Structure 1
């Protein structure tokens, strides 16, 4: 997720036709001068060949030690809506800890169907997709009807601008695209590094094509089999935990701009009244401020920046631009994020009363951070969405794959540790690596987890059971 194990509808297995060899062309960037790019054409709808094709964008960093090349390692950096092409081209593997991966693998990033440089691209009018005047926690029938009407109109706008791809952007379809990429690469098996949403996509692929997996890391695990109401509450609690931990650090650390301040009280006051944002040219809402704070919580290294952003938003000359610039509602991938989210995580609410019960539980477990969490954004935003969901949550165990490494964090604000445990339990022979530090995903926050992931991807040998990175 940035969000965020996958379930499959019980469809018959489909044979993937042979793909022509990829035509790689140089696409060097300053961070990655050896990058090269290609594309793969896939069926838009595999049940209706007449529906046409989609084109997937790929970028690759060839192995630096061809004599000891293991194969292709595919990366999905999350979202839904994140760009694997951008991750590979612009330094996602630039750190020294990835030297072994660069030696032994062709590192392949791809943009899933509908995303970034793949075509057709999911396209929505941002002004129609998000309206700060719409209450995402409706208290009356009129407010609930307004939320449904807004979401329906937003979805219809996306459908008009995107076309049939909007209804084919589910993770099952994207997983079959991964198989098409494997065939085009000419690899009998692929290795996989998936973070956040990339864990859902990877788990779907492993459940459908276990014989074509060599090794797979699922870091920041999404358990797609989880009942949605349960997932909403668990994630809200995880976001609250991260905010409380940040506040505790901030109050006691001279590194924080709000050192010595009651940070939770300060935060509550700020989001309750809103704060002017020069980036928006207006007063930002509590939802927008809360979403911005959530964006900073994803990385422990950004906590000092979060302290400065909060101090600026409530200072003598208030400006919350640093917060609103990272709020999810204004992200360039928000249209794809919403559209794919509504395919995989449709709203479970049967009406206002049902929604309000869940909203009350969210506020109970997240008394400070309740205004924004990703699963509330999905489920409130998908209420009334006009495109039927192809991939709603349901169990999908993985059998017959080699040992898979699942990574979860005790203080991850986006993907609770319970999700990693649930996903690991659904994968035969998997090993769970637990990290006790802060932030979303071990890849982005834990040197220990990164080292274990690299070691496993190269060797194929998982860490011992019960391994903890503290």
Structure 2
């Protein structure tokens, strides 16, 4: 980044006059200074008569008001993740983001928000949890009868969500959520915003930057999602990345006394569990291989969670894995509903699904039963609502330099996605972290420090930089 541009990013930004938000105290033990508010937005901007929604906001005022840079909007991923919950309840704690907390808390008003349909926002996506995943049907139908039941199940699940949520369910796509971000910016009185987005938050941030490049001050896209990628290609790449992470966990288990399965072949134990299933007291039944694989997958996000995964695999009762499954999460309805707006099923029928499944099993012979893109793509087969934002390019032209971060061993967002996203953003810089886990923010102090320096100064790390 040239010196003139770097100096400009440090100059105070003139705020446009807008109606002030009303902030009320909503402090927590983790963040005592938190304040809460909301904005009202149209559910369907093309048809305002559809009604309005309220987007929940939380703010941590900059600790150093004299040197305040501006507002930093934070999205913790998902889709369906709560920015309000992340910010209010310790997502920016030193134990989570290390030394990055102080510069970010000192220099920015930290703004967490819940995208439309999510958690504290209203109306909230509401679905009957038990209808979203049926263990008797699963995600890999292999016969015509199974496939027809699978499609009918997904359609019924979507219709249930629609009946409980209302018209908002058809407008929870990322394009609409990005328009809400600009409404938040205006309500904050900021001419430009800074952005810290991880995982799905990278797609949301990239779409916003594509729409409003002149309203971006700085932007971190960590754990990059490349929405331009064909869904089938993304499925295969992510399945391979999940397999890589599982094999790396097993290798760690073999060499680390900290693993409960040390010296006992953790990979063989995993294979046995997901192949045959295991009784889980918490479910009162045998958990399926898909549920157990999903539960294990959640632990792969953070190497700090690998000891817990070892203990869960060693335990004859599979309850710890079953409760960690995405299917058991309170956010699974929002995850599926938003996912079907952005990543619709690519399958044209049973033969197509089976052919793709064979490729998935080839690249992920151990972990094939669960990866996120398969969960969404398969789960959206038969979904009753059209996708408003299917995979497509979101090129960014005219924004300041944007920092894209990708991990060499990320189980959820493979490194090629970061390369693809960075290539679509003029002037972007790619920072690669070489360690394990999903996102550098949650797994690498080197990445956290680089992100904080860039967000405060506007100066990107050198091109080609690596972090451990």
Common fold by TM > 0.5 = yes
Q: Separation in 1 of the partners of 2:70 and 2:256?
A: 46
Find the counterpart in structure 1 of residue 61 from structure 2.
Answer: 62
Find the counterpart in structure 2 of residue 6 from structure 1. Answer: none
Checking the alignment, whether the CA contact within 8 Å between 2:259 and 2:310 is kept in structure 1 is yes
The residue correspondences of 1:51-450 to structure 2 (distance < 5 A) are 51-95=50-94, 96-97=98-99, 98-312=101-315, 318-450=316-448
Separation in 2, partners of 1:392, 1:74: 25
SS in 2 for 1:368: coil
> Which residue number corresponds to residue 26 of structure 2?
27
Residue 442 of structure 2 aligns to a residue whose secondary structure is helix
Superposed CA RMSD in Å reads 1.0
Kept after mapping to 1: 8 A contact 2:223/2:406: yes
Q: Deviations over 1:1-29 (max 9, x none)?
A: xxxxxxxxxxxxxxxx9963210000011
Q: Give distance in 1, aligned partners of 2:370 and 2:139.
A: 10
Distance in 2 of aligned mates of 1:139 and 1:232:
18
Deviations along 1:63-107, one digit per CA (max 9) or x if unpaired, are 001000000000000000111001111111221511011010000
Compared CA separation, residues 414 and 129, structure 1 to 2 (3 A):
same
CA contact (8 A) 2:266 2:310 kept: no
SS of 1:67 mapped into structure 2: helix
| Maintained 8 Å contact 1:216/1:457 | yes
CA distance in 1, matches of 2:386, 2:394: 20
* TM-score normalised over the length of structure 1: 0.95
2:53 match: secondary structure: strand
Question: Does the residue aligned with 2:324 lie in a helix, a strand or coil?
Answer: coil
The answer to whether the 8 Å contact 2:17/2:189 transfers is no
DSSP 3-state at the match of 1:443: coil
In 2, the alpha carbon distance for the partners of 1:425 and 1:160 equals 41
Query: TM-score, normalised to structure 2's length?
Result: 0.95
| Counterpart Cα distance in 1 of 2:310 and 2:93 | 28
Distance 1:245 1:423 in 2: 26
User: Which ranges in structure 1 are unaligned for 5 or more consecutive residues?
Assistant: 1-16, 313-317
Q: CA offsets, 1:121-176, max 9 Å, x none? A: 00000111111111311111111101100000000000000000000000000000
The answer to whether the 8 Å contact 2:138/2:290 transfers is: no
Q: Deviations over 1:399-439 (max 9, x none)?
A: 00000000000100000000000000000000000001000
- Contact 1:240–1:368 under 8 Å retained in 2: yes
In 1, Cα distance between equivalents of 2:256 and 2:30: 35
Deviates more, 1:95-104 or 1:175-184: 95-104
Q: Is the contact between residue 42 and residue 55 of structure 1 (CA under 8 Å) also seen in structure 2? A: yes
Contact 1:19/1:180 (CA < 8 Å) preserved in 2?
Answer: no
* Separation of aligned partners in 2, 1:137 and 1:90: 37
- SS of the equivalent of 1:442 reads coil
TM-superposed deviation, 1:451:
0.5
Task: Please say which of residues 58-67 and 319-328 is displaced more in the overlay.
Answer: 319-328
The secondary structure found in structure 2 opposite 1:60 is strand
Number of the residue aligned with 2:453:
455
Runs of 4+ residues over 6 Å off in structure 1: none
CA–CA distance in structure 1, aligned partners of residues 430 and 197 of structure 2: 15
8 A Cα contact 1:135 1:143, kept in partner: no
Aligned position for 2:5 = none
SS in 2 for 1:424: helix
Which residue number in structure 2 is paired with residue 50 of structure 1? 49
The Cα shift of 1:307 comes to 0.5
How far 1:261 moved relative to its partner?
1.6
1 CA distance for matches of 2:136 and 2:18?
48
What SS does the aligned partner of 2:384 have?
A: coil
